[in-house]
């Protein structure tokens, strides 16, 4: 439209609603990283001996590794010695036994974010694990879930109560030395969620984790481990926010999913970390390793992500299709505006016969945002009749942003069927004029068109979160008129 | 007077297209704007609707007593101006009914009214769908995506019927229609004729005017109204073509500049 470059700058500004800071006393380690810090974290969590050994091994590997340089992102060098690796809100004694003992400031924080931790106020049918900086502060509906045999707790608690399960599966999908950030996470992760769904159980509620970074100069390194035993089903959602700060903060998480024979895991993410301001000051570096293994035949893992936050997103939720007839899915909407950079996509590794994967990626770039899809479809020699369908669409708002697509294909079996489609488009003036002639404001018209563009992905989200994601996209796009 | 256009000049990408249009439209009237290709018919329709890059260089347009040229595109729409597009655009992923609802509620918001309750909205839509003989499944398909030419045009009439404009501008709605689709479109349009509503039919051919009988016919050439008359003018054009009109226009232009 007629908007000049300076108009655009005016318009793309928007308040980040989750940008407040909670004033709470914390137990924070001084910045720096060495074997001593790894040991202190393990000791603070009173971990079994095998965990310390596992962490130290990861740390030693990490020391020999290099940051990956292949992603389409730019940032100043990260000083890993300037980061504090542990920060927890101070708690009396052994931590809260019930909600009454949780610091009211924490409850207020989650209420403000729209995540009430009181079960009676919760969204119907959703259990929440709330992670604040380095620790889990509350997991709701644990009793209800326990009745169905479902274990849903923080990974720290899982290490106390179910060490054998953690020991068996932790690092079995993402090994400690998988990549630089995964190794770092393995050494210093402080909390995260643990889920175990027993054989044949359909988890009666949606499970969710809400991650909140609050403290300054700290990194958040959480670890999520979800195991769906034979024939079980679980739908899991994670949400994330952080205060507005001028400094960048590092978030390096690892998520591992394991689906046994006939099991299904649906993992949805609505990522709204602080993206930084329009000058590119501040914001979260979101360097995350997410991978699922379809261990058993007829198992299914589905990743759905809506990524609107973070200064930099580096993340490739992947599926190892080990069992025959296993299904992997990746549905993604990634929005970059201001100076945000996203390099995201997936890896689908076909190992079993008749394995199928679907990749639908929708990238939206506004402001000076840079949006990259990077995906690998790998079909191993022994994977007969594997099928993949990939569709990568990019939408550009304005003329100072960028969209990039890097699809990699490695096919070693002649029976494979692989399809890839890619489009790049701008919102056309014809579309805007059409909507505005029907009475819609320019912003409403853009929102309508963008939501249409994302529809295939939004419809994969659980209902409540689809509405949430749509709203998030609306506010993120407010004024992003090109 | 509903619409009063005086000495309107407009350019597209710096190129003058309209060179002094005068036109007055009263409530209840149907005006046909005819003319050869390139005469400025569609430009006039787009200028009235407020399309970007259609620059008015001089002249005035008043709509219901207001200076239309000062109103934003969406304000014009909310005040009752509707353009049925010559080439309705596709909007992937946005269902037809969703756009309709957004449009209805945008106008209600502008008028200070609450959103139309879902039940009432559905009732309204279902009633109007019958008028244009469309199947209800059309409502749930993406806007114009994969629609045939005739379906797109009927969809425009459906939107018009639901939005109930004061001034409807139909830009070559007859183009690309077979005779059956044309009859359906004409029926829709005729149903909407009324004492409070005015219509401007932009068309190249007389054919549509057999079904929608205009009160006035204007012929455009070289960006000016060169001849006005009643329905018989359209018939004369059908018989004699546009050549003689263009020739007259050129003579007038020569006289004006010479």
pLDDT at B257 over 70: no
Neighbouring residues of A110: CB distance < 8 A, sequence distance ≥ 6: A116, A117, A130, A210, A212
What pLDDT does residue A15 have? Answer: 61
Taking any CB pair shorter than 8 Å as contact, residues of chain B touching chain A are 49-53, 72-74, 76-78, 82-83, 85, 87-89, 91-94, 98-99, 102-103, 106-107, 110, 142, 159, 163
Interchain proximity B74–A428, CB inside 8 Å? no
Interchain proximity B99–A435, CB inside 8 Å? yes
Structural domain for A454, as ranges: 8-477
Q: Is residue A482 part of a domain?
A: no
What pLDDT does residue A7 have? Answer: 35
- A473 inside 8 A of chain B by CB: no
What residue in B sits closest to A1 (Cα-Cα)? Answer: B52
Interchain proximity B106–A438, CB inside 8 Å? yes
* Integer Cα distance of B212 and B229 in angstroms: 16
- Give B235-240's long-range contacts (Cβ < 8 A, gap of 24+): B235/B206, B237/B34, B237/B206, B238/B205, B238/B206
Q: Give tens-digit pLDDT for B138-189.
A: 999 999 999 999 999 999 999 999 999 999 999 999 988 999 999 999 999 9
Give contacts of B83 with chain A, Cβ < 8 Å: 437
Bridge partner list, B171: B202
Percent of chain A residues topping a pLDDT of 70? 91
* Integer Cα distance of A266 and A350 in angstroms: 19
Average pLDDT, chain A: 87
Span B88-116, average pLDDT: 95
Interchain proximity A452–B52, CB inside 8 Å? no
What residue in B sits closest to A433 (Cα-Cα)? Answer: B51
**Residue in B73, B77, B94 closest to A449 by CB:** B94
Interchain proximity B163–A439, CB inside 8 Å? yes
What residue in A sits closest to B50 (Cα-Cα)? Answer: A437
Span B120-143, average pLDDT: 93
Q: Are strands B91-95 and B142-143 parallel, antiparallel or unpaired?
A: antiparallel
**Residue in A434, A454, A456 closest to B85 by CB:** A434
Q: Is residue A321 part of a domain?
A: yes
pLDDT at A10 over 50: no
What residue in B sits closest to A441 (Cα-Cα)? Answer: B74
**Residue in A440, A453, A456 closest to B103 by CB:** A440
pLDDT at A73 over 70: yes
Interchain proximity B73–A429, CB inside 8 Å? no
Q: Give tens-digit pLDDT for A375-410.
A: 999 999 999 999 999 999 999 988 889 999 999 999
Q: In A317-397, at which residue ranges do the beta strands (DSSP E only) sit?
A: 318-321, 327-336, 341-350, 356-365, 370-379, 387-396
What domain count does chain A have?
A: 1
Rounded to a whole number of angstroms, the distance from the CA of A146 to the nearest CA of chain B is: 41
Give contacts of B103 with chain A, Cβ < 8 Å: 438-440
Q: Is residue A393 within 8 Å of A362, Cβ to Cβ? A: yes
Span B57-69, average pLDDT: 97
Span A135-145, average pLDDT: 79
What pLDDT does residue A23 have? Answer: 80
Q: Give tens-digit pLDDT for A77-135.
A: 999 999 999 888 776 555 556 667 777 777 777 777 777 777 666 655 677 788 777 77
Span A457-480, average pLDDT: 75
Q: Is residue A3 part of a domain?
A: no
Q: Is residue A2 part of a domain?
A: no
SS3 of A179, please? coil
- pLDDT band at residue A8 using 50, 70 and 90 as cut-offs: very low
**Residue in B73, B98, B110 closest to A437 by CB:** B73
pLDDT at B248 over 90: no
**Residue in A2, A431, A441 closest to B52 by CB:** A2
Give the best residue of A391, A421, A437, A444 to mutate against chain B (max B CB count within 10 A): A437
pLDDT at A177 over 60: yes
CA angle in degrees (0–180, nearest 5) for B249-B253-B258? 150
* Integer Cα distance of A181 and A390 in angstroms: 27
pLDDT at A13 over 70: no
A98/A162: higher pLDDT: A162
Span A254-282, average pLDDT: 92
A327/B176: higher pLDDT: A327
Q: Is residue A437 part of a domain?
A: yes
pLDDT at B82 over 90: yes
Find the range with the poorest average confidence among A178-187, A218-227, A311-320: A218-227
Span A41-65, average pLDDT: 96
**Residue in A435, A436, A453 closest to B92 by CB:** A453
Average pLDDT, chain B: 93
- pLDDT band at residue A9 using 50, 70 and 90 as cut-offs: very low
Q: Which pTM value belongs to this model?
A: 0.85
Question: Locate tokens 């940008």: which residue?
Answer: A19
SS3 of B190, please? helix
- pLDDT band at residue A191 using 50, 70 and 90 as cut-offs: confident
Give the best residue of A438, A446, A456, A459 to mutate against chain B (max B CB count within 10 A): A438
Neighbouring residues of A209: CB distance < 8 A, sequence distance ≥ 6: A128, A129, A130, A131, A192, A193, A224, A236, A237, A238, A239
What pLDDT does residue B84 have? Answer: 97
- pLDDT band at residue A479 using 50, 70 and 90 as cut-offs: low
Q: Is residue A423 part of a domain?
A: yes
Q: Is residue A379 part of a domain?
A: yes
| Nearest alpha carbon to residue B68 among B29, B19, B10, B13 | B10
Q: Is residue A336 part of a domain?
A: yes
Neighbouring residues of A153: CB distance < 8 A, sequence distance ≥ 6: A129, A136, A139, A142, A161, A193, A194
Interchain proximity B93–A455, CB inside 8 Å? yes
Task: Report ipTM (2 d.p.).
Answer: 0.95
**Residue in B72, B102, B163 closest to A448 by CB:** B102
What pLDDT does residue A93 have? Answer: 52
């Amino acid at each position: 439209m007629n908007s000049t470059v300076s108009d655009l700058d005016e318009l793309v500004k928007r308040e980040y609603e989750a940008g407040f800071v909670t004033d709470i006393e914390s137990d924070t380690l001084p910045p720096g990283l060495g074997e001593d810090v790894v040991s202190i974290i393990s000791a603070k969590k009173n971990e079994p001996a095998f965990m310390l050994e596992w962490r130290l091994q990861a740390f030693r590997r990490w020391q020999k590794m290099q940051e990956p340089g292949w992603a389409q992102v730019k940032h100043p060098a990260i000083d890993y010695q300037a980061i504090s690796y542990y920060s927890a809100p101070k708690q009396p004694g052994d931590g809260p036994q019930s909600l009454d003992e949780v610091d009211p400031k924490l409850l207020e924080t989650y209420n403000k974010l729209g995540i009430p931790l009181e079960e009676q106020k919760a969204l119907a049918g959703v259990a929440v694990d709330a992670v604040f900086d380095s620790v889990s502060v509350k997991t709701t509906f644990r009793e209800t879930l326990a009745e169905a045999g479902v274990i849903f707790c923080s990974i720290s608690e899982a290490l106390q109560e179910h060490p054998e399960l953690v020991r068996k599966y932790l690092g079995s999908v993402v090994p400690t030395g998988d990549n630089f950030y995964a190794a770092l996470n393995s050494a210093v992760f402080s909390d995260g969620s643990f889920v175990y769904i027993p054989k044949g159980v359909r988890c009666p509620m949606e499970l969710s984790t809400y991650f909140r970074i609050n403290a300054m100069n700290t990194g958040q390194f959480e670890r999520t481990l979800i195991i769906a035993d034979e024939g079980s089903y679980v739908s899991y959602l994670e949400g994330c926010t952080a205060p507005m700060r001028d400094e960048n903060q590092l978030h390096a998480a690892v998520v591992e999913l394991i689906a046994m024979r006939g099991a299904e895991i649906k993992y949805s993410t609505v990522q709204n970390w602080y993206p930084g301001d329009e000058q590119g000051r501040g914001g979260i570096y979101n360097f995350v390793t997410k991978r699922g293994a379809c261990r058993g035949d007829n198992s299914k893992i589905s990743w759905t992500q809506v990524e609107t936050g973070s200064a930099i997103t580096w993340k490739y939720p992947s599926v190892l299709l080990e069992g025959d007839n296993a299904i992997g899915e990746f549905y993604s909407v990634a929005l970059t505006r201001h100076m945000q950079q996203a390099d995201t996509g997936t890896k689908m590794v076909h190992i079993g016969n008749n394995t199928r994967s679907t990749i639908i990626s929708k990238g939206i770039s506004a402001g000076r945002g840079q949006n990259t899809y990077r995906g690998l479809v790998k079909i191993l020699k022994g994977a007969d009749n594997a099928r993949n369908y990939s569709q990568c669409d990019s939408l550009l708002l304005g003329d100072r942003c960028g969209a990039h697509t890097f699809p990699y294909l490695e096919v070693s079996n002649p029976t494979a069927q692989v399809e890839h489609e890619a489009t790049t488009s701008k919102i056309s003036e014809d579309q805007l004029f059409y909507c505005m002639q029907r009475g819609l404001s320019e912003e409403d018209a853009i929102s309508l068109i963008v939501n249409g563009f994302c529809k295939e992905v939004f419809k994969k989200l659980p209902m409540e979160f689809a509405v949430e994601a749509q709203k998030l996209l609306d506010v993120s796009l407010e004024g992003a008129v090109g | 007077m509903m619409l009063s256009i005086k000495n309107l000049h407009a350019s597209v990408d710096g190129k003058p297209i309209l060179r002094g249009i005068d036109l007055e439209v009263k409530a209840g009237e149907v005006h046909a704007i005819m003319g050869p290709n390139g005469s400025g018919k569609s430009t006039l329709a787009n200028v009235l609707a407020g399309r970007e890059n259609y620059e008015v260089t001089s002249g005035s347009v008043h709509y219901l007593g207001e200076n239309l040229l000062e109103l934003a595109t969406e304000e014009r729409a909310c005040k009752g101006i509707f353009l049925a597009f010559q080439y309705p655009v596709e909007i992937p992923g946005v269902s037809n009914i969703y756009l309709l609802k957004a449009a209805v509620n945008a106008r209600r918001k502008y008028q200070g009214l609450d959103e139309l309750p879902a039940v009432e909205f559905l009732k309204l839509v279902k009633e109007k769908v019958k008028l244009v003989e469309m199947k209800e499944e059309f409502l749930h398909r993406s806007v114009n995506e994969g629609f045939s030419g005739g379906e797109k045009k009927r969809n425009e009439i459906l939107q018009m019927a639901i939005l109930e404009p004061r001034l409807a501008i139909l830009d070559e709605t007859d183009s690309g229609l077979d005779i059956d689709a044309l009859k359906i479109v004409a029926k829709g349009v005729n149903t909407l004729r009324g004492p409070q509503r005015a219509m401007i039919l932009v068309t190249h051919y007389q054919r549509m005017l057999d079904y929608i009988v205009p009160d006035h016919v204007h012929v455009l050439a070289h960006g000016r109204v060169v001849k006005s008359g009643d329905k018989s003018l359209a018939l004369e054009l059908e018989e004699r073509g546009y050549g003689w009109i263009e020739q007259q226009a050129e003579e007038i232009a020569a006289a004006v500049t010479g």
